[in-house]
Amino acid sequence: MSDNRKYYYLKLKENFYNSETMVILESMQDGLLYSNLLLKMYLMSLKSGGILMLNDHLPHTPQTIATFTRHQVGTVERALKVFLEFGLVEILTDGAYYMADIQLLIGQSSTEGNGKRKSVCG
């Protein structure tokens, strides 16, 4: 039986933290928490193409985001307002949060693909 798992990863450019948005975000009160939260939310949304979903039918809420990211609910709520203002997050018609720039950051691989790369690259 083949164990071919898919892996998703974030590809951050070297100037990610020097972008105008990230500099402004991190300069805010609790900005470093927001920056950490943003990265965790990107990671949480990788498997679903940028949409923060608990399962196929249930979107994450600020409370569940707080639980999974280990941040305070109030911090998550304040951060989400900032993320919405900056265009980093959008709210879809079903109420789910969508990470707006996720398609620029997603990489994808599989165990099968990794094995082939290792055999070709030696």
Query: Alpha-carbon distance 16 to 26, whole Å?
Result: 12
pLDDT digits (tens, 9 = 90+) for 9-58: 888 889 999 999 999 999 999 999 999 999 999 999 988 889 999 988 89
pLDDT digits (tens, 9 = 90+) for 86-112: 999 999 999 999 999 888 787 766 655
The DSSP-derived string for 23-42 is HHHHHSTTHHHHHHHHHHHH
Q: Is the pTM of this model over 0.85?
A: no
Question: By the 8 A CB rule, do 5 and 115 touch?
Answer: no
Query: Alpha-carbon distance 91 to 88, whole Å?
Result: 10
pLDDT (0 to 100) of residue 85: 97
